[in-house]
Every structure is written in C-alpha cells, then in structure tokens.
Amino acid sequence: MDNDIKPVGPAQTPQFPQPAGPYTGQPVQPAPGAAPVQATVSAPEPPKPEKKSGGWRGTLSTILIILIAPALALSITAFVFQSYQVDGDSMSTTLSDHDRLIIWKVPRTWSRLTNHDFIPNRGDVIVFVKRGLYEGDSSKEKQLIKRVIALPGERVTVRDNVVTVYNKQYPSGFFPDKSLPYGKNIPTTPGVVDTTVPAGEVFVIGDNRGNSYDSRYFGAIPANDIVGKLIARVLPLSDAEKF
C-alpha cells in the first residue's frame, strides 16, 4: 500500500548565538584609529525623454482623411441616398412645398451594375430626370417627383376623372387610386388618356391631379431616367414619416 509521510518528532527550533552583553540601543562607534565609514547615496538618473515616432504617419493619415471624406460623401449621394427638397405642390397633399426628403438610390445603382431596368412598384413615389421641359433647350434637364401608376406592358386610361389600369391579372381593369392606400387623399383625375406603357418604362402621375405635369402630358418615362424612390420625409419634424 501507499506510504504516508509524517513528521518525525517535534519540530526543532534553531539556536542562534547570543551577544555577550545587553543591547543598549547605542550606535556602533568605529574603533580608535579606524577610518570612518561613509555611506554613498547615488542620485537617481533623470528620466529619458520619450522618442516621438510616427509623426509622418499621423500627417499622412490626416491627408488621406481629407482627400477620402469628400469622395466618400459624393459616392453616397450618387449611389446610395440623397436629400431633396420639394419645390412646388404637384404632390400635395402627400408632400408639401419645401418638405425635405430622403431618396433611396441603391435599387437604381444595383440595376445598372447588373445591366437590367429598375422598375419600381406601383404606388411608389419616385424622382426622375425629365428633358425637354424648357422651350428652346431640349437637352436641359429637370428632376421631378411623381407617383408610379402603371408598369411596363400595362394599358392605362384616364376617362371621366378616373384612372384605370389593365393587365393580365385584371383584364377588365382596376382602379389603383381606390385599391392602394395612397388613394384616400387623391381627388379626381382630369384628362383623357388611353395608352400602353412600353417595356422598360413606367407611367407616373402627381397626387395633386389638377396641378401636376406628368405622364398624362409627356408620356411614360424610361427606367433609365429614374433617380431613386422616396423612403422618408425628415423635415418638417412635425410631419416626419417613412414611406
């Protein structure tokens, strides 16, 4: 079996020699004729100055930030999102003059990268580029904001102040202003239209139907002219909302 280790006998206390006489607490004096012993205390070394390193790296980082920040901001506004301010009342009462909006551009950017058309959903509010609105300068552009009513391949009519859309799902037609949530604020729609939306285009109308220059007058718009879709109103704060 295992062997236990145990102490053998009581512990012994080591004995030290005792001084010849009692300790009086007096300092020890050197013997007569002996040179006095002097204690030498060396002064502490002064702290070494810290070496400054990476000065040029910090400067280079600052220069890079100054150069990259504007490029990053421009890339975001060009390809991701951008702030817009409403100018006019063609979209009232949904949007008002001077409202500050956020327009989402990622779907448009992705469609261009993948070489296909960006077709928004029916009812989306979009910003797009329109040319030929200025007399004498057909190349001058203007950005407009309207609502998507009809999609590629659909027939759309405006008759007796009512918008009707015909497609494969609804060959007899349906009324987007009545079936979609936005329609509760839409008044009657003046005009006479009967057209089929070409491939790669959408038909848009402003919510203020009596005061909006839109596809009823200039036709459907190409998907390539779409800038982005409305996702939020940020100002005024009292009317801030997500779309």
In sequence order, what DSSP letters do the residues of 143-173 get, joined into one string?
EEEEEEEE-TT-EEEEETTEEEEE-SS-TT-
**pLDDT score, position 205:** 96
pLDDT in tens, 94-133: 999 999 999 999 999 999 899 999 999 999 999 999 987 7
d(CA 62, CA 41): 50
Catalytic one of 42, 48, 75, 90: 90
* CA 20, chain centre distance (Å): 90
Q: Is the dihedral of CA 215, 220, 222, 228 positive or negative?
A: positive
Please identify which of the residues 105, 146, 215, 229 carries the catalytic annotation: 146
Distance CA 193, CA 178 (A): 18
Q: Which domains does the chain have, with CATH numbers?
A: 82-237 (2.10.109.10)
Identify the DSSP state of 114: T
- Model pLDDT, residue 81: 83
Q: Which of 13-22, 71-80, 145-154 has the lowest mean pLDDT?
A: 13-22
Mean pLDDT, rounded, for 163-173: 95
The reply to whether 178 belongs to the active site is no
Per-residue pLDDT tens over the stretch 16-59: 455 555 545 455 455 555 555 555 555 566 666 555 555 777 78
Q: Decide if 105 is catalytic.
A: no
